[in-house]
Amino acid sequence: MGSELIYRGHDTQPASDSYSPKPVKPWVSVSRPIRYMLREQRLLFVLVGIGIATLIFTVFPSSRAPHVPHHHFATSIADSITYFPRETQNKFSYPHRVGFGSANPTGKIPLGLKRKGLRIVVTGGAGFVGSHLVDRLIDRGDKVIVVDNFFTGRKENVLHHFGNPNFELIRHDVVEPLLLEVDQIYHLACPASPVHYKFNPVKTIKTNVVGTLNMLGLAKRVGARFLLTSTSEVYGDPLQHPQKETYWGNVNPIGVRSCYDEGKRTAETLTMDYHRGAGVEVRIARIFNTYGPRMCIDDGRVVSNFVAQALRKEPLTVYGDGKQTRSFQYVFDLVEGLMRLMEGEHVGPFNLGNPGEFTMLELAEVVQETIDPNAKIEFRPNTEDDPHKRKPDISRAKELLGWEPKVSLRKGLPLMVSDFRQRIFGDHKEGSNTNNASSS
């Protein structure tokens, strides 16, 4: 028989190509870091660090400050350090919170140390009063955010602060919500002259009501102190003379001026409701007639009307018989009052105005003396709901704020005339007079 070879390859099992990892050794996750630390001598450095820290805390135990409750903090400070008196501390103290600019919760400021600035928002900060307030706050060292929709405000009023790291400008209407982190809110946003607030009365009352709601909501959310600039118009055509803060007023709720008058009255109501119901720190100022540089030239208010007309050689228009009275305060006096109210401990409302009372004819005569003795006076029919008398009783502000106006009409009016002359005729560079006046 011939030999034959039998191939039995089909009977053998092919080798498997699948990969089987080696079994994980126990404690490998622990042994590897230990071997690494021993090899690189990391353990030695760790032990040396622990030893040094233990030595420091053992030898110098006094370096650890003991935990002291907040209300006992003032008594634990060494007596060798001299502090401001308590009434000065209270101006900058916010014991209920630690917010922006409040790194020292007790409000104690050692002598020789500069006060840390606050973050402050000023709505309507590009307007007449708002821009002067911004000047004072910036000079004091605060960080100021101006919010303005430029309906009556002007960029030129704050142009000199552009480039200052402590100044920000936001074009925004306060009837829309705004998210910021601030310590204080000065709410000035609203057209204040009859010409402007009568232009769109619905918008005026929305600005007063919805805008105030938005700013109060911001104050509640971030724990800021809120100051509302109300107006003497809440007294309407008053039956009490002079007007005290306790007087409730005599206002026509459906008249052509009620969008402003009743809007401010509602804003005061909302402010007090947020104070009582939500614990918001609030302040209320009732501002009487104010004049000075940066007023709108043709805004319909009597001082700006008379000054602009006299400079343009036009007749001074007196409405009615000219016997209705007003009181006029210079803008610097008002700004001082607003800041004292904000930094004080009293809610208000406070009358902020000059009790010096002038009839419209007497004001026209003062303008004649200041600008043009030959200026003529022209009488026109009086406007609807024009108050016959307006004079503030400021005894409360004197007693509780230590505030009263310093600048008389005959001293302040020439500064306003200089600013108006520059803006009407362009005698000097833009803003030169107003900036010099604000820094005086």
**Active site members:** 260
CA–CA separation, 336 vs 338, rounded Å? 6
- 76 CB-contact burial (10 Å; exposed 0-12 / middle 13-18 / buried 19+): exposed
Residue 124 CB contacts under 8 Å (≥ 6 apart), including other chains: 130, 147, 148, 153, 187, 188, 189, 190
Smallest CA-to-CA distance from 417 within 433, 404, 430 is with: 433
- DSSP 8-state secondary structure symbol assigned to residue 352: E
Q: What is the CA radius of gyration of the chain?
A: 35
What distance lies between CA 392 and its chain's CA centroid?
25
Smallest CA-to-CA distance from 236 within 384, 335, 89 is with: 384
33-69 as b/e, with b when 16 or more CB fall inside 10 Å? eeeeeeeeeeeeeeeeeeeeeeeeeeeeeeeeeeeee
The amino acid sitting at 76 is S
Helical segments of 173-301, H only: 194-197, 201-222, 258-278
